[in-house]
A = this chain, B = another copy of it.
Amino acid sequence: MQPNPSTVTTPVTPTAAGEPGPSRVLARDLASVGDGRAAVLMGWVHRRRVLASVSFLVVRDRSGLAQVVVREPEALAALASVPEETTVRVTGRVSLNPAAPGGAELVDPVLEALTEPATAPPVELWRPTFGAGLPTLLDHAAVTLRHPRHRAAWAIASASMRGFRSALGELEFTEIATPKLVGTATESGANVFTVDYFGRTAYLAQSPQLYKQMLVGVFERVFEVGPVFRAEPHDTVRHLAQYTSLDAELGFVRDHRDVLAVLRAAVAGMVEAVRADASEAVATLGIELPVVPEQIPVVHFSEALSLVGADPDEPDLSPAHERALGAWALAEHGSDFLAVEGYPMAKRPFYTHPQPDDERWSNSFDLLFRGLELTTGGQRLHRPSDYAAALERTGTDASVLAGYLDAFAHGMPPHGGFAIGLERWVARLTGAENVREVTLFPRDLHRLEP
């Protein structure tokens, strides 16, 4: 039978209640239907293999792949008319076969296309490796993201978000949703997008920093997973104009070490969720998941400079320094993670809490993961007088921060927090060289589509 797409616009999906015939079975469940029983697969034509004696159709659905054995002339003709990526409904009989993927295949199939024959993808999606460069991946994201390796990378992102929320939920953090349209670009001033807001100028929020602090005053412990925006004018492998920030902030801390302990719990939760919910993706990508130590080793910034043989007056760590520190943490502590605390106050934003015994340094830290910066966190100022002094010192106009400073005037606890960039985390976990490889539809200096 030649499938006639025009006849199958509706109805196409039998569901359990009141529908004739067997309902849909997912690829991974094919064997469980039972040998010889009727079954319906629905999915994409992942691959066709036409051999002399027999042909195979591999159907892909959200659960994986299933093999269909095609022998009959009508079905062979139908197979010829459904190019790779066409969506199909395949009705047949289950045949248990230890040699087939998943231990079962579908035989005696009747194929129906659910749409028109698909245009050939820019790369063959059934090949184990993605056979094209980044421009092809990004220009044709709607189809190239279907490649198993790209689906796997996102499965890890998705599980990571779930693990982050779950770990913080257990610690009684409240999820918040903060404004992405803000009236003042005061957090850093640079690299901010402007928006025409009903005739006024608004800015896209570069982080939920000020709002999550204000909401510590309300809920004590808060987190947000959401987009942040940076008008990053440089074309690098690690910067995006929009990325997903995993933000947390908590009150009644002793200092930044309490913040680091929560960060440790969040990262451990992310790793656990990837292990539990994305194990196939981990296998597909051949990832070695890190062990998150109970206590993440910590070195002071000044000690870190000395460890890598840098000038003690250096204001920051270079990528080479970070790599060296990562190697040191692995050798010395057997840890993929290292926290560097005490970064110079001069390089940190106005709300940063100084180190009490030496105000050149700050109560803040960077967390390095395998020698790359994963996240920045620390303790914030919480006393109104400290804010007044910090704003004067940094030349910041207090009047534009009135709504934020309100929180401090009305009583705030000692607090701190951190932010993890989802895409960077996934890139480092998967070994992707460019964050764009692990981002759905990335945005950058040159790219606003698709």
Chain A residues at the B interface, C-beta cutoff of 8 Å: 5, 9-15, 19, 24, 42-45, 61-63, 85-87, 114-116, 118-119, 121, 140-143, 145-146, 150-151, 154-155, 157-158, 161-162, 165, 169, 172, 174-183, 193-198, 200, 202, 204, 211, 214-215, 217-221, 226-227, 229, 231, 233, 241-242, 244, 251-255, 258, 261, 353, 356, 363, 379, 382-386, 402-404, 406-414, 422, 440-441, 443, 445, 448-450
Contact = CB atoms under 8 A, between A and B. Distances in A.
B158 A175 contact: yes
Nearest to A211: B441
A87 B211 contact: no
B198 A450 contact: no
Given A42-B413, A157-B177, A215-B440, 12 more contacts: A12-B414, A13-B253, A87-B252, A114-B382, A121-B410, A142-B403, A143-B410, A154-B218, A155-B174, A158-B174, A195-B195, A198-B231
A161 B85 CA distance: 34
Contacts of A445: 198
27 contacts: A12-B413, A13-B254, A15-B254, A42-B252, A45-B411, A62-B220, A85-B410, A85-B411, A87-B411, A115-B384, A115-B411, A116-B383, A142-B214, A142-B217, A142-B218, A154-B219, A155-B174, A157-B177, A162-B169, A179-B441, A179-B443, A181-B242, A195-B204, A202-B448, A227-B227, A402-B450, A404-B450
B145 A218 contact: yes
Contact of A175 (B161, B172, B226, B384): B161
B217 A178 contact: no
A63 to B, nearest CB: 8
A62 B182 CA distance: 27
B118 A151 contact: no
B181 A443 contact: yes
Most buried by B among A24, A61, A142, A154: A142
Contacts of A200: 448
Given A211-B440, A217-B143, A226-B227, A258 B411 contact: no
Contacts of A158: 174-176
* Closest 10 pairs between A and B when the two form their complex, measured CB to CB: A403-B450, A118-B411, A62-B220, A142-B407, A85-B411, A13-B254, A183-B448, A143-B410, A142-B214, A119-B409
A179 to B, nearest CB: 5
Contacts of A63: 172
Most buried by B among A115, A183, A385: A115
Contacts of A12: 252-254, 413-414
Contacts of A151: 218-219
A183 B449 contact: yes
A146 B62 contact: no
Nearest to A256: B10
A405 to B, nearest CB: 9
Contacts of A404: 142, 450
A413 B169 CA distance: 36
